[in-house]
Amino acid sequence: MAAKPVIITKTEMEKVLCGGKVPPRFEVDRGQLVAIWDVKRAGTDLGIEVKVYTSIFGAESRGVGEDSIRVCVVDAKADKGLNKTTYTTRTTGWELRLTGKIRDMFLFAKAIPACSCGRRMALRKNKADGNVFWGCTGYAARECSRTQQFVEVA
């Protein structure tokens, strides 16, 4: 049997997102409510944010099938993604799935290395062989081409 789609109110979403140790700050991006946490390691701000695009526009989520809740890790200064976005469908049990993905993104964010040029590294995929590696975020601007091996921690 297919999972049942649900409409989520702004109050329900804020309750789930504020349930952790550190509540996020909220912004509105193109009409959508976005929750943002600054990632810190040993009290030091890493210049990385975990963002949740809630699919809440106004008082509640969009209609069924219009979009999902997105979770991503971004470089705070450049506002560029550092990993692949994960999605949580708005179906029964969304709360547990979303909080698990947020937790996983925090663990991922704390493991992102800094490049020797001072920028953050982003997760990249080799088109030829499909291997995943860390690449400097300055690569697109042709300012830095450093890479580093990605080792997945279980």
The model's pLDDT over 81-130, given as tens digits with 9 standing for 90+, comes to 898 899 999 989 999 999 999 999 999 999 899 899 988 899 888 899 98
Angle at 39 between CA 99 and CA 87, to 5 degrees: 35
pLDDT greater than 90 at residue 153: no
Q: Predicted confidence band at 9 (pLDDT cuts at 50, 70, 90)?
A: very high
Residue in this structure with the two tokens 């969304």, named with its chain if needed: 94
- Residue 26: what residue type? F
Residue pair 90/83 in contact by the 8 Å Cβ criterion: no
**Consecutive H or E run containing 95:** helix 94-110
Stated pTM of the model? 0.85
Q: How far is 124 from 150, CA to CA, in rounded Å?
A: 9
pLDDT greater than 70 at residue 64: no
- Residue 61: what residue type? S
Cα distances (angstroms) measured from residue 105 to each of 56, 60, 81, 85: 21, 25, 12, 10
pLDDT greater than 90 at residue 71: yes
As given in the structure block, the two tokens for residue 116 are 């020797």
Mean pLDDT of 57-75: 85
